[in-house]
């Protein structure tokens, strides 16, 4: 049996999560003091300004301390946990599969690590170490087993509503608990509460007038704080201007219907609009730029990474489709769908939320016709698309009912003048009205 002197403690600090992020909020601890953890096992769920991230510990051993309560914001480099490692841990079950106790480096889940064998098994977080067990993990109670749930949003939904996930039976593969399972359980609990006897409610004393007048205060942090900072910076630094035009989208909608009727994967309207934008940026590359304020230079970019606005439970996020200029409509549709699903589940990585060169904002899904987009700093332009609705329109000299959409372009006046912006927007409108224009210019 190993001596106590064979063990030593290692401190794991909040790693640099990339993309200039300097802090993160502890959403949920995944381990307790006394738990036995394996190398690269997630120990805490944190929320950055970009996404929810499970942070893995690069050390294997016994958790001896945690730093920060749930809801606490920590700067990068602040201590997260300390882990006791050494021979007594190596002799335990974690070594049975050939695992190593050395650290693997500060890596994020899914980023990979050269020190992590493919056959590593994850040690249950509920395994505790006590003095009576001579450094070996105690057998957990059956109720303490791991909960078969992956999505951080599902865990948060259950936690915020006081729902014990261990009481649920998942409908997903291998009993995986899905969001639908949590929502069903919450609805059932609500229905039960409606028919249960209700205790007389206590009347709370009236709040002082000064307190009532203060209203509700919501901290600007996390996603909301990041959005506020970026929009404020955009307004401060970018001399933007907006132009807009109404376009007859009837032929574009017909073309999409014909494409989807031909068999094969369905093509989304957003993908067609993105395809039009990449073609327009090829003709007006000034709008695919950024401004280097220190060098006082306009940097014209040679690739198109299109961001698109996605509304989620955590707020507005802008996932980025890489190399959109090299994708066809089918590939764009698939990537939009993948990123949208990841955004709703809170699974977007920091890399999938940064690096855009142009943003497409389809606010028509909210039932509005027009808006004035705010540029996604440090980009140079954003195209806004309103709802497509039947309206009176003069078509071929006759008054007719057509599918009309309003297109809005907000651009950085430092990178181009109104003529360039107007030319870009007019080309986009021409492609919407006559999709054959796009084919002629490819």
Q: Which residue has the higher pLDDT, 296 or 439?
A: 296
Closest CA to 304 of 379, 230, 252, 363: 379
pLDDT digits (tens, 9 = 90+) for 253-306: 999 999 999 888 999 999 999 999 999 999 999 999 999 999 999 999 999 999
Q: Which domains does the chain have, with CATH numbers?
A: 4-141 (2.40.50.100), 147-189 (4.10.320.10), 236-441 (3.30.559.10)
Convert the pLDDT of each residue in 345-387 to its tens digit: 888 888 898 899 999 999 998 899 999 989 999 999 999 999 9
Task: State phi, psi for 130 to the nearest 5 degrees.
Answer: -130, 165
Cis peptide before 378 (omega within 30 of 0): yes
Contact (CB, 8 A) for 424 and 284: yes
Residue 413 annotated in active site:
yes
Backbone angles phi and psi of 439, in degrees to 5: -65, -35
Mean of the per-residue pLDDT values for the chain?
79
Nearest to 9 by CA among 62, 87, 66: 62
Predicted local distance difference test score (pLDDT) of residue 214: 66
Contacts of 85 (CB under 8 A, 6+ apart): 7, 8, 9, 10, 59, 60, 61, 101
pLDDT tens-digit readout, 303-352 = 999 999 888 877 788 999 999 999 999 999 999 999 999 988 888 888 89
Burial label, 398 (beta-carbon count in 10 A; 0-12, 13-18, 19+): exposed
pLDDT over 70 (residue 84) = yes
Out of 8, 303, 395, 413, pick the active-site residue.
413
Q: Which residue has the higher pLDDT, 398 or 226?
A: 398
How many CB atoms are located within 10 Å of the residue 7 CB? 18
Residue 5 pLDDT exceeds 90: no
Token pair of 147, please? 């909960």
């Amino acid at each position: 049996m190993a001596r106590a002197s064979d063990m030593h403690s290692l401190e794991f600090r909040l790693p640099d999560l990339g993309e200039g992020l300097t802090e993160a909020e502890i959403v949920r601890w995944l381990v307790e003091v006394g738990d036995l953890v394996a190398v690269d096992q997630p120990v805490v769920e944190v929320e950055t300004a970009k996404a929810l991230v499970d942070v893995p510990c690069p050390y294997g051993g016994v958790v001896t301390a945690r730093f920060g309560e749930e809801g606490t914001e920590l700067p990068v480099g602040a201590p997260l946990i300390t882990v006791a490692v050494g021979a007594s841990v190596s002799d335990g079950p974690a070594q049975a599969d050939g695992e190593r106790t050395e650290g693997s480096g500060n890596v994020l889940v899914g980023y990979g690590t050269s020190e992590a064998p493919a056959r590593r098994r994850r040690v249950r977080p509920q395994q505790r170490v006590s003095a009576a067990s001579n450094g070996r993990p105690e057998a957990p109670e059956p109720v303490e087993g791991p909960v078969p749930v992956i999505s951080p949003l599902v865990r948060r939904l259950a936690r915020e509503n006081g729902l014990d996930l261990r009481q649920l039976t998942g409908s997903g593969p291998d009993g995986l608990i899905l969001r639908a399972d949590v929502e069903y359980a919450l609805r059932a609990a609500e229905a039960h509460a409606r028919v249960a006897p209700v205790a007389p409610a206590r009347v709370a004393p009236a709040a002082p007038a000064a307190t009532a007048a203060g209203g509700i205060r919501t901290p600007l942090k996390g996603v909301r704080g990041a959005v506020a900072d970026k929009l404020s910076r955009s307004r401060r630094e970018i001399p933007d201007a907006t132009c807009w035009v109404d376009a007859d989208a009837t032929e574009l909608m017909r073309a999409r219907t014909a494409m989807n009727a031909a068999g094969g994967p369905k093509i989304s309207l957003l993908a067609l609009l993105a395809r039009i934008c990449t073609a327009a940026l090829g003709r007006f590359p000034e709008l695919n730029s950024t401004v280097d304020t220190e060098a006082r230079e306009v940097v014209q970019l040679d690739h198109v990474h299109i961001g698109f606005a996605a509304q989620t439970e955590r707020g507005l996020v802008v996932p980025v489709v890489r190399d959109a200029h090299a994708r066809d409509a089918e590939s764009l549709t698939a990537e939009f769908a993948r990123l949208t699903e990841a955004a709703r589940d809170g699974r977007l990585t920091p890399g999938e939320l940064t690096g855009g060169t142009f943003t497409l904002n389809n606010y028509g899904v909210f039932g509005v016709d027009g808006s004035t987009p705010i540029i996604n700093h440090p980009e140079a332009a954003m195209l806004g698309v309103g709802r497509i609705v039947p309206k009176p329109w003069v078509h071929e000299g006759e008054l007719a009912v057509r599918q009309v959409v309003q297109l809005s372009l907000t651009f950085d006046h430092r990178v181009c003048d109104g003529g360039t912006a107007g030319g870009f927007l007019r080309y986009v409108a021409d492609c919407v009205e006559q999709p054959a224009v796009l084919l002629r210019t490819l």
